[in-house]
Structure 1
Amino acid sequence: MAPAVLTGFLPLCVCLLLTPGFADAGRLLVVPMDGSHWFTMRSVVEKLIHRGHEVVAVMPEVSWQLGKSLNFTVKTYSTSYTLEDLNHQFRIFSEVQWKTRVQSFLSLLMISSGSGFLEHFYSHCRSLFNDAKLVKYLEENSFDAVFLDPFDMCGLIVAKYFSLPSVVFTRGLLCYHLEVGSQCPSAPSYVPRLLSGFSDAMSFTERVWNHILYLEEHLFCSYLINTLLGFASEIFQKTVTEYDLFSHTSIWLLRTDFVFDYPKPVMPNVIFIGGINCHQGKSLTKMAPEPFGKAHSLWYLA
């Protein structure tokens, strides 16, 4: 016969397991992106912690926003650049953006690649995998999923390397990677390309130009992330394409609404979660109502 203490303890365990927050809690690996992208992701991470999930984030020692006031486990790794180097490269990148007028998606990609900022920023992913102690920690600890921002793409490499399900959190992607990764059809004959300026009711000439923009995008996007794909190929000891990385995604959380985009089919793992794109807004200052005040009198007189 079981001891009385054990008999009384079992119902308590069952109740705890069935309680929301205990049964559904998981262990999440977060690979964030620095800058404004972290503002929105951080609000979601904090909500997940509040619901009982355990969060471990990996981030570089050198960053703008990542290391400020965090209330979860953080694993850092050193980088080959300093904060001054990062600020300098971003200053060059932003000056080029302001001086050059973006007339098409291709011109945006050419401006971005010409500054060298993206290649400099992507280099931190190599630093992550060069940290043998951190890689060993991630291998030995089990995680349920990776929560990542795909604009950096390092999180995609981490998820695939450790064979973990990945949850992508983004407003959208510059290139065609969402369509390729989620296998959503987006025919150039019907869906205008980003920054093309065309509507969903294109003329024949506009459809031809849309196809040309589509081909340019495929050619140049591969060149834009060629450095990162080369590094990923070194990690996996085989040729890695953008499809290999983005198709590994389990769930796409898009911070937008379906009605804001052109009509097109989406897959069941593409979920629209609304416009979570900035800091939580503060309440407006309360003012005493003056329905017949001086200001209203002047307005009526005017």
Structure 2
Amino acid sequence: MAVLGLGLIEVSYGSNILIFSGYGEGSHFMTAALVGKELIRRGHNVTVLISNAYEHRANETKYKDLRFEIFKHNDPPEVVRNRQEHFAKSVFEGTAMTEFFMNMSIVLDWFVDDCHALFNDEPLLKRLRQANFDLAFVDPVWTCSLLVAEYAAKRHVSFMATTWMNFIPRVTGNPSNTAFVPEWSTGFTNKMTFAQRVINSVALAFSVWMTSSTDSTSIIQQTHRICPDLQLYQLYQRSHLLLVNVDFAMEYPIPVMPHVIPVGGLSAEPANNLSLKKLVKNAGDV
């Protein structure tokens, strides 16, 4: 009986987890913060790294259970917020990809400069190291998050907050057939015409070239001894898992490897009951 009783005791050990998913604004941060709150509910310690442009998050009631670390940009916070707001607006207007390709060198310089600012903050780096994180949960859209994960944690998991953005699963080892898997920024579905497949193949070739030829992180890698022998595209492959905020019941099917885990619906909350007053108002509006 004593053995049976011991078998019924559930023992759990809280891990020390670092989350770095964007500067602190938008869906990339908000969905990751929801994951962080759930991890806390399950007994883990969670620290979220954000930028000083959005450090007000640390004082918001809904994030009171999260610990925050702040890194500082070289640019003033209002400049960072303005460019982030401009990008968000361009996404809804459908011009984001066009603007990115037209201003690609400028945008990449922003990201690289922000990453250098983070890794030049010695007190912050010391705190991250001393925290002895068991796991980093990062969004590889900003490649600097992979460097932070390698620097501060024993292992890391990547998280894709958006709908299917093919280049991220592809560089982490997921197969990509241009005949029915659309590349990011094309807007195609899995049912492409011949012309669309040609365009998709060109987009894939361009994406592969960008990922394999860029050398934006090597200085930081060498300075801080962060996988100095690896190229950027190889850093993506070091994630143990890739969680994708995708539900294939709502989107077209895509073949995935075992390390790619669909977790669609992270931002969906339980439905609230509508009051009779709201039902009457909605009926009146119709």
Residue 78 of structure 1 is aligned with which of 63, 72, 94? 72
Corresponding residue of 2:31: 40
Opposite residue 262 of structure 2, the aligned amino acid is F
Deviation at 1:256, TM superposition (A): 1.0
* 1:30 matched to 2:12: no
Cα distance change of structure 1 residues 221 and 97 upon mapping to structure 2, 3 Å threshold: farther
Aligned partner of 1:7 in structure 2 is none
Structure 2 vs 1, CA of residues 80 and 19 (structure 1 numbering), >3 Å: closer, same or farther?
Answer: farther
Equivalenced residue count is 273
In structure 1, give the amino acid aligned to 2:20.
Answer: V
Matching residue within 50, 59, 84 for 2:50: 59
State whether residues 18 and 135 of structure 2, in contact with CA within 8 Å, keep that contact through their aligned partners in structure 1: yes
How far apart in 2 are the matches of 1:88 and 1:288?
A: 40
Q: Is the 8 A contact 1:150 1:170 kept in 2?
A: yes
Structure 2 CA distance for aligned equivalents of residues 174 and 283 of structure 1: 31
The amino acid of 2:54's aligned partner reads S
Report the equivalent of 1:185.
175
Distance 2:223 2:278 in 1: 66
Task: Indicate conservation of the 8 Å contact 2:100/2:107, yes or no.
Answer: no
* Superposition deviation, residue 148 in structure 1: 1.6
Q: In structure 2, do the counterparts of structure 1 residues 96 and 48 end up closer, same or farther at CA, with 3 Å as the change threshold?
A: closer
Q: Which residue number corresponds to residue 6 of structure 1?
A: none
Please tell me whether the aligned partners of residues 36 and 66 of structure 2 are also in contact (alpha carbons under 8 angstroms).
Answer: no
Following superposition, the deviation at residue 147 of structure 1 comes to: 1.3
Of 246, 252, 257, 2:247 maps to 257
RMSD of equivalent CA atoms = 3.7
% identical equivalent positions: 23
SS in 1 for 2:68: strand
TM-score (norm 2): 0.76
Q: 1:87 aligns with which of 81, 90, 96?
A: 81
Q: 2:8 and 2:174 mapped to 1: Cα distance?
A: 37
**Structure number, greater radius of gyration:** 1
In 2: Cα distance, 1:99 partner to 1:42 partner: 26
Per-residue CA deviation, residues 154-199 of structure 1 (Å, 9 max, x unaligned), is 2211122346211222234756232121x11112234232343545
Structure 2 contact 136–153 (Cα < 8 Å) conserved: no
- For 2:230 and 2:206, the matched residues in 1 are separated by 21
- 1:270 aligns with 260
Instruction: Give the counterpart of 2:205 among 193, 202, 215.
Output: 215
Q: 2:102, 2:88 → 1: CA distance?
A: 10
Residue 202 of structure 1: how far off its partner (Å)? 4.2
Deviates more, 1:65-74 or 1:35-44: 65-74
Cα pair 2:31 2:161 within 8 Å, conserved: no
Which blocks of at least 5 consecutive residues in structure 1 are unaligned? 1-10
CA contact (8 A) 1:191 1:263 kept: no
Give the Cα–Cα distance (whole angstroms) in 1 for the partners of residues 142 and 204 of structure 2. 22
Deviation at 1:29, TM superposition (A): 1.6
* Structure 2 residue matching 1:258: 3-state secondary structure: coil
Change (3 A) 1:175 1:113: farther
The AA in structure 1 aligned to 2:246 is T
Q: Equivalent residues in 2 for 1:7-156 (5 A)?
A: 19-20=9-10, 22-33=11-22, 34-36=24-26, 37-63=28-54, 66-69=57-60, 70-90=64-84, 93=87, 101=95, 107=98, 109-111=100-102, 113=104, 116-117=106-107, 119-156=109-146
Q: Is the 8 A contact 1:38 1:66 kept in 2?
A: no
Amino acid aligned to 2:167: Y
Deviation per CA, 1:213-258, whole angstroms, max 9, x where unpaired? 22122234567x6534554454437465332221111111111113
